Structure 1
Amino acid sequence: MSSIADWATPNPVTENRSGLIGKAVDRYEGPLKVTGTAPYAYEVEAPSPPVQGAIVTSAIARGRVAAIDTAEAEASPGVLLVWTHKTIPAQGARGARINPRSQRPSSPVMDSDEVRYFGETVAFVVADTLENARAAAALIKVTYDELWAVVDFPASLGLAENPPGEEDVRIGDFETAFAAAPVTLDETYTSPIQNHVQMEPCATTAWWDGDKVTVHTSIQMVKGGQHALAETLMIPSDDVHLLTRYIGGGFGGKGQSYDDLSLAALAARELKRPVKVAYTRQQMMLGTIHRPATIQRVRLGATPDGRLT
């Protein structure tokens, strides 16, 4: 029987069998990125001239859309499509899974008049150019029934509760041991909200070939994005071809897909032509996930030589 020492001793026969450890490895996409020739999701060349989408996001943190006036936007130059929660095509029910072994459920866009967070999509415009799409989007007038929202983290700690099925764990008699410890530490550490601030915003270029959709999108978890889009569109996963060749920064903030993916695919199907959709820099700060603020209290009891009690 081998001893622990035997396992810890490097074996010259099996060590670094690929010969790559310790060697510099060229990144094939490096020159493409630094020369500006790597096609990111929004820059992918579509099979035919694409049209451009612009997202309108909520101006409140919680409530409902009481009224929305899109008349001026619809009459604006170059506009091809204007959607709200009343006019967007049918999508899979939120959380639904119809495909076997689906990794992500349906995540419909504007599936109701409810506003769940500041920066949520409340309207969408597609036009012949990005300038026309954004100009039309700015003409949409939204009236809200605003509700109270939890936005102050430290002030709202009293509202905290454990998620279903989870509970705090206590092992031993901490209070007695802490009181008797010769050395104690009782500190509270905080961290603020942090946005990922990727160089490349979340963006998608989409087109259809019959019943199959091709989407180039900026996402880190490719299979999850494919499945989420299939569930949202209510089509088989095999009919979604999702590609993400280059990502201009992710940091976990692109681990999931966002409304740009679904809206581009839905609009491309509706208009029967390629559609490009990208979040603005401001919308990236609001409509995508972030690293939440934290408050952590740490208490330790120890002996003078550092042994935790």
Structure 2
Amino acid sequence: MNNLIKLPSLHYEGNKQKKMTLHLFLQIMGKIRLKSTPRKNHWWYVTEYVSTKGITTGPVPYNEGMDTFDMTINVHQHQLEVNTSKGEFASFSLLDRISVADFYQQLSEMLQQLNIAVSILDKPYDVNMDKPFGKITEYHHYEEAYTQDFWRILLWVDGVFKEFSGRFYGKTCPVHLYWHSMDLAVTRFSGNPAPAMPAEARLSDKDAYSHECISFGFWGGDENMPEPAFYSYTYPSPEGINQEPLMPSTAQWVDSNGSPMALLTYSDLLKTPDPRAALLDFLESAYAAGAKKANWDIKTLTVPELDNL
């Protein structure tokens, strides 16, 4: 069955510059959405989505809400596209070693030509980089094969996450991509408020973790975890969660900033006979561990079979 699915391989080592270039492109798009979209809880209004073309912001309001536009990295044509509700379309190529600075400049000019007024804090977020986007010339490594493979995996994961999401009756976020860390995520909430964070905690964290939650995601690796992997964590982290079983057998509990996090590497998933079933098993086992130890009302929060309604 694994051969029938034909999931592509994906590696962090050897692709760091390609990943960071794409990451910074997505941050620029995400910051434009952040500045233009009305607030929604837990930062759900700033995220991006996997689409049939690639990765997109979805509709973003402008012109005092009379119109919308979207921005999409088209992984088939390898171009950045902007569409408006007025029927306008503009694009530029992502090939020929376009730098982050070039991307930022061309997108800014294109939006201006479309009479879309937006001003962002033009610096990367949470990637240990202080340069403004307009001066980042060292990242110019957009690459067709890496981007298409990464998107193809995201597209598949998006579908599995949506199936998993549909099994829960409580408050659940959309399956979406957080551009600050470039991870595709879905989060379940118990409905109970979480303990207040310290006053010095980041505003982004205070809004993201205002309520008890169990989050699940996939990301392409970083310096701390140098390979693509699936993860899950419970907030607040209950005592003893890391003693609960995980599936498949290659999944494990690891330390993440002092709290247990369930982890399944993408390479281990590819070795299973049925990756979709294995990923769903991982998600379910991580949820069961967190919900049990945090005393969630598991039965009430489980979607019943339709014939039982």
Larger RCO, structure (CA 8 Å, separation 6 or more): 1
TM-score, scaled relative to structure 1? 0.22
